[in-house]
A and B are shown apart, each in its own frame.
Chain A
Amino acid sequence: EVQLLQSGGGLVQPGGSLRLSCAASGFSFSSYAMTWVRQAPGKGLQWVSIINDSGRRAYYEDSVKGRFTISRDNSNNMLYLQMNSVRVEDTAVYFCAKDITAASPDYYFDSWGQGTLVTVSS
């Protein structure tokens, strides 16, 4: 069974940093692209970032480019999102998710973590 277990959310001050983690199990982690999607309170879904299976390629939504860094550790089946220079508008539940297809990503996401709340406030 595919499982994505998230950790690392919490309260952070504007301008601060936080790292989100996503522990994967039940599938061949190193074969799948992985993504982060967020959802502000009461709002819709917003894609944040994606990393390919090897970790060599990543893409970001414009508002987080230069502030957030996605990474992965394939030897330990871990996905990360390093969030620097956070803003109030980064407040959201952050989900990690797995691409539907191995090796050649399709950019649809069929397994999701439980979500972790990040609150940016002074």
Chain B
Amino acid sequence: DQQVKQNSPSLSVQEGRISILNCDYTNSMFDYFLWYKKYPAEGPTFLISISSIKDKNEDGRFTVFLNKSAKHLSLHIVPSQPGDSAVYFCAASAVSNFNKFYFGSGTKLNVKP
């Protein structure tokens, strides 16, 4: 049951450059998407979200893009900083059933100084 997929287990980026993390989903009922960041030994922390009525949401250095026809979303971090090094999880839910969130397997981002 892999309804949310993050196909890149890891990504390495130089400080100051753009980090692009990708996420694909299969369930067309999903209409709300979130990105979480997770440091070792901590729980996931919410980063940014987007609903299906938008195709872009921006918050500071973080922008999430949603392509509904491709069932694809991406998180852009510009500029990347060493403190951004963490595991990033994409999650999805349906507004009709917000009691259940589906997570991807995560992408480990390493931002090199």
- Are A and B a genuine interacting pair, yes or no? no
Q: Which residues of A contact B (CB under 8 A)?
A: none
